[in-house]
């Protein structure tokens, strides 16, 4: 609980210190955001991509292990 509160406070400080507006262009979309928000969105997006890749790798390893056990049991 205390750790999440500290992380939340640090995020709030980050957003407050990075309020300069920046132009953002992505796949034909254009807009402007506060710099801190843009960084946060990019970090969350990167985390999601890493989680998807990690999940796919775990599923691959489980499938391979299941196949290996089937071939040894037979």
Q: How confident is the model at residue 74 (pLDDT cuts 50, 70, 90)?
A: low
| pLDDT for 70 beyond 90 | no
Which pLDDT value is given to residue 4?
A: 86
Q: Domain spans of the chain? A: 2-73
- Residue-wise pLDDT tens digits, 28-60: 989 999 998 898 889 999 999 999 999 999 999
Which pLDDT value is given to residue 71?
A: 86
Question: Is this prediction's pTM over 0.85?
Answer: no
Q: Which residues of 25-63 are buried (b: 16+ CB within 10 A; e: fewer)?
A: eeeeeeeeeebbbbebeeeeeeeeeeeeeeeeeeeeeee
Average pLDDT, the chain: 91
């Amino acid at each position: 609980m205390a750790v999440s509160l500290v992380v939340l406070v640090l995020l709030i400080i980050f957003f407050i210190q990075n309020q300069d507006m920046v132009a953002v262009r992505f796949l034909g979309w254009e807009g402007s955001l506060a710099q801190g928000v843009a960084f946060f969105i990019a970090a969350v997006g990167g985390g999601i991509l890493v989680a998807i890749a990690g999940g796919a790798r775990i599923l691959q390893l489980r499938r391979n292990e299941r196949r290996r056990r089937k071939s040894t049991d037979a």
